[in-house]
Structure 1
Amino acid sequence: MRIDKYLWCLRYFKTRNIASTACKKGHVKINGLVVKPSREVYPTDKVSVRKNQVNYSFTILDIPDNRLGAKLVDIYRVDTTPKSEFEAQELLKYSKDYYRKKGTGRPTKKDRRDIDDIYKENEL
């Protein structure tokens, strides 16, 4: 099965086109190598996917016939994503009150202090 179809079947991406685009941009790696969307996947391959500032990693156990329900995904893969990868996503969730628009440039000294305060609050 192709990697873009596999990622779509395991619900990492909503559409196959989005999965294919992620492969073309270099966000998908198999066994440490950046791959094209047409790359075939096999059991025991180690896959890494960068999505929403998190590097998801998993090992393929089996190839599904078609798209799966969310409860059945763990039958076909073993999730090896370290917990530390989700820290950036947690910080974004906690910093809803502090949000910088894209393209506004580097953070000022005050912005940096506010970000550091958010980190300190989450550590306690």
Structure 2
Amino acid sequence: MNKNSKHANSPTHAFDGAQDKVRADKWLWAARFFRTRSLAKDAIDGGKVHMNGSKIKTSKELRVGDTLTIRQGHATRQEEKTVIITALSDVRGNATAAQALYQETEASLIQREFFAEQRKLANLARPDSKPNKKERRELNKFKNQW
């Protein structure tokens, strides 16, 4: 293997000290916010990624110290993370290396914990099981009385 080639499993390229900026889609992919670069691109184009409060383009070059707000998940269970870029990489490494690329803000952590708790409380209002045939008939009978 050529020593100048970038190999995904090579730890020497995880944090290239010579880099001072990286494309947004590459960084989001390397930091493991998205499974593929095309998913990262789609999220950026869809307005789900903001830098310092404003929308960005896929080719936007990120630097250490920039603040990103990233919305992920489905419409009913969408999470918003606010992270500060601490290191740059355009190579996808393991999860431990990816977590070293950013630091989530304290306010973001508190907000995500609050919404997770709200989702748990909302699930407590659900019945344990579906009504059986007899209970469905009684419910329909009750509903049709009014």
Q: TM-score, structure 1 length as denominator?
A: 0.69
Contact 2:51 2:68 in 1 (8 A): yes
| Alpha-carbon distance in 2 for matches of 1:97, 1:17 | 37
Provide the residue aligned with 1:25 in structure 2.
Answer: 46
Q: TM-score, structure 2 length as denominator?
A: 0.60
Provide the residue aligned with 1:115 in structure 2.
Answer: none
- Is 2:98 the counterpart of 1:73? yes
Q: 2:64 aligns with which of 22, 43, 46?
A: 43
What is the deviation of 1:97?
Answer: 8.3
User: Which amino acid is 1:17 matched to?
Assistant: S
Report % sequence identity: 28
Contact 2:27 2:90 in 1 (8 A): no
Higher radius of gyration, 1 or 2:
2
Provide the residue aligned with 1:62 in structure 2.
Answer: 87
What is the deviation of 1:6?
Answer: 0.5
Unaligned runs of 5+ in 1: 100-124
> RMSD of the alignment, in Å?
2.0
Provide the residue aligned with 2:111 in structure 1.
Answer: 84
The SS at the match of 1:18 is helix
- Is 2:13 the counterpart of 1:5? no
What is the deviation of 1:77?
Answer: 1.1
Contact 2:26 2:90 in 1 (8 A): no
Q: 1:84-119: per-residue Cα shift (whole Å, max 9, x none)?
A: 2243345446656889xxxxxxxxxxxxxxxxxxxx
Q: Between Structure 1 and Structure 2, how many residues are aligned?
A: 99
